[in-house]
Amino acid sequence: MPRTILITGAAGGIGLAMVDAALAAGHAVAALDRDIATLPAHPRLHPILADLATEQGCRDGVAAAVAHFGRVDALVNNAGIGVSSLRPDAETRLPAIEELDAATWDRFFAINVRAPMLLLRETLPMMRAAGWGRVVNNTTSFRTMLRVLPYGATKAALESASAVWAAELASSGITVNVLIPGGPTDTPFIGAESGWSREAMLRPAIMGAPLAWLLSDAADGFTGQRIIAARWDGALPGHQAAAQAGRAIGWPELGTDAVWLQGGR
């Protein structure tokens, strides 16, 4: 069934691949970005200029989508800011503590963590009213969370939020899942001076097939999972491909180190 999908960071790289997949699946797309010039012309695509670093920008972006399409059925939180924005070689010469002042820290968290929360708050009433919805968040690998600041910390926070949202919305008809490429991806998000071979990187298009399935009615009830797109086998039925490419959001097995509930307290 065609739905209205709001995709952030939609004008290039992974976001544009997600837009293409959603359109190919027959959905309408509200495409939010700070630069919409590169978005393709399509009768079911509505480009929306939005600054997700601000609360008003998030609110206005959703309002523009609703004004055009009448509703939002699914939210894809893809927009993000990475360390290549600090300096071109920051992917391989990682930012040091001395580089991460309060303004940098706040901007990373505003875009990578706060914006997904604000966008969900704005769209959730529509999904609840419909008894159906999709939230798909692009986080990162555990390795990056443990190595790269401030980016890794923001994505760890979004991963945690995703697990909490999935549990809170269980049985509501609204699913919450994480979708990541699985490694460095050939997009402008990674600076040209990173030192990595562009040819060896993943292609943004790998995000398309798993996203299309997560947005479909076939994925009803599939929630609280993180899908690694590079492991998605398009030859398999969706549920089998998802089982092969996925696992629970976060690393819940690490929760066994908690001792404060021992003895039933």
Contact status, residue 227 vs residue 179, Cβ threshold 8 Å: yes
| Helix or strand (DSSP H, E) at 108 | helix 102-109
Q: How many CB atoms lie within 10 A of CB 70?
A: 10
pLDDT (tens digit per residue) in 37-84: 989 999 999 999 999 999 999 999 999 999 999 999 999 999 999 998
Strand arrangement of the beta sheet that strand 225-228 belongs to: 45-49, 28-33, 4-8, 74-77, 133-137, 174-180, 225-228, 246-248
Query: DSSP assignment, residue 202?
Result: B
Classify 4-264 by CATH class: alpha beta
Q: Give residue 196's pLDDT.
A: 67
- The whole-angstrom separation of Cα 253 and Cα 164 is 15
pLDDT (tens digit per residue) in 227-259: 999 999 999 999 999 999 999 999 998 888 777
- The whole-angstrom separation of Cα 162 and Cα 168 is 10
**Domain extent listing, the chain:** 4-264
Return the half-sphere exposure (C-beta side, CA atoms, 13 A cut-off) of residue 129. Answer: 8
pLDDT (tens digit per residue) in 160-172: 999 999 999 999 9
Q: Give residue 39's pLDDT.
A: 94
pLDDT band for 211, please (50, 70, 90 cuts). Answer: very high
Contact status, residue 10 vs residue 39, Cβ threshold 8 Å: yes
User: Does residue 264 carry a pLDDT above 70?
Assistant: no
User: Does residue 26 carry a pLDDT above 60?
Assistant: yes
